Amino acid sequence: MSGTNESVMTQLRGALERALSPVHIELIDDSAAHAGHAGARSGGHYRLTIVATAFEGRSQLERHRMVYAAVASLMNGAVHALNIVARAPAEQV
């Protein structure tokens, strides 16, 4: 992983921790798999699995909105795509 992507991952993790106080975060840089994709030049591709109490009783759409709100400042440049799996603690596999 490049230094830039490592910094973006640190920023993503920090924003999610501050906003959602997750009990688990798994963040994977998937940018290499998207090399050559037109949007890949504008930011990285990341996969996120996040488990947080804040998601209890919320729909998947609401959960995704919560995640996007937490990382909004990164979505207009450093992050091109974010694949999200958001679960409440009782839903952990």
Q: For residue range 7-55, what is the model confidence (pLDDT) as tens digits?
A: 899 999 999 999 999 999 999 998 866 555 555 555 688 999 999 999 9
Residues 6 or more apart from 45 whose CB is under 8 A from it?
A: 29, 30, 31, 33, 34, 37, 80, 81, 82, 83
Question: Based on the structure, what is the number of domains in the chain?
Answer: 1
Supply the range of the domain harboring residue 10. 3-91
**pTM for the complete prediction?**
0.84
Residue 32 CB neighbour total at 10 angstroms: 12
Specify the CATH number for the domain of residue 8: 3.30.300.90
